[in-house]
Chain A
Amino acid sequence: MKAIITVLMLFCAALSAEEMLQFRSDAERQLFHQLTAELRCPQCQNQNIADSNAIVAVDMRQKTYELVRQGQDRQQVLDYMINRYGDFVHYQPPLNRYTVWLWLTPVLLLLLLLGIGVYRRASQQANANTAADDGSDSAELDKLIARYRSKKP
């Protein structure tokens, strides 16, 4: 049972574990984590390269690490990967005249709905001839009963 590891080091002081990937600074480590989280594994179903253990994801992770260690910034690393694997590999599409609608349509929808709300209220205000506005439930119920009765086939 080769894999059984007993605590051989009881007599030693607790050894410090080394990081799998060494970084020079927290900023560098953060950049690496950010990049591997937003790069998509081209072979998997739908996973970023940080979470996937597919061969190509492992290779891309290693490459990202190398590039980060060379001091490249976020955009440079992204460009490196996009040059090889296409826009598909980045979880945020590039901004161009087609993809701009991705950001634009939600804003337009929000404005449109906002406009509808204000317009509706204004038009109701203008309509002076509104029905009794007591809003009480019993009145509504009476109306309902009356309607059902009147529509009896």
Chain B
Amino acid sequence: MRKVLFYIPLSLFLLLTLFLLSGLFSDPRERDSAVINKPLPAFALADLMQPEHIWTPEKLAGEVFLLNVWGTWCPTCNAELAYLAELRAQGVKIVGLYYELPRDPTFDAPFDLATLQQDVTQKLAQQGDPYQFNILDLQRTLSLDLGVSGAPETFIIDANGIVRAHHIGDINPMVWRGKLAAVYQQWSKP
């Protein structure tokens, strides 16, 4: 009995290495979303290109779609545009949520919608345009309500306006096939 006691430190250490080993192969920054299976939060935000048009959750309901948080300032977002455009061509409905940066009064010009629209049009012409339309989240309020920590992030919203997936980071063929496509298929069935 006494002999066994002296092996306790070893067994605890071996248990620890098991956890450390599995920890090596997972991303510590990956966190789970708190908004899955919740309805889209209430919002009323203007369309980026037609600011007189106000989008609300009700107007978005009806069919499953991807809500892609992005900005022209974000290199990763620009890199995924081409693949998203490909998905659009396959019939996936993608809505852009434009994540506008706060402005530093020292370095930046004040916000100007026309300049932004021009930027976006140009960028989408260059990289490919995956979006049915873009919602402008100027104060990042909807982003905060959706638990967005930066761009790019993508949500899958079902026909009833319920969030079904939340992906942090860019979408590439691996992520789409491995993680998001199945969810999208599941909720697009009538």
Contact = CB atoms under 8 A, between A and B. Distances in A.
Direct contact of A and B (CB under 8 A): yes
Interface of A: 42-43, 54-56, 58-60, 63, 82-88
Contacts of B150: 43, 54-56
Contact of A58 (B33, B34, B102): B102
Interface string B72-104: 000000000000000000000000000001100
Interface string B139-154: 0100111111110000
A56 B32 CA distance: 17
B61 interface: no
Contacts of B140: 55, 59
Nearest to A41: B149
B149 A43 contact: yes
Residues of B contacting A: mostly: loop
Interface string B34-59: 11000000000000000000000000
Given A59-B144, A84-B144, A42 B34 contact: no
Interface of B: 31-35, 101-102, 140, 143-150
A84 B35 contact: yes
A86 B31 contact: yes
16 contacts: A42-B149, A43-B150, A54-B150, A55-B150, A56-B144, A59-B143, A63-B144, A83-B34, A84-B35, A84-B144, A85-B147, A86-B31, A86-B32, A86-B34, A86-B147, A87-B34
Given A43-B150, A86-B147, 10 more contacts: A42-B31, A42-B147, A55-B101, A56-B144, A58-B102, A59-B144, A84-B147, A85-B31, A86-B34, A88-B31
Most buried by A among B102, B143, B147: B147
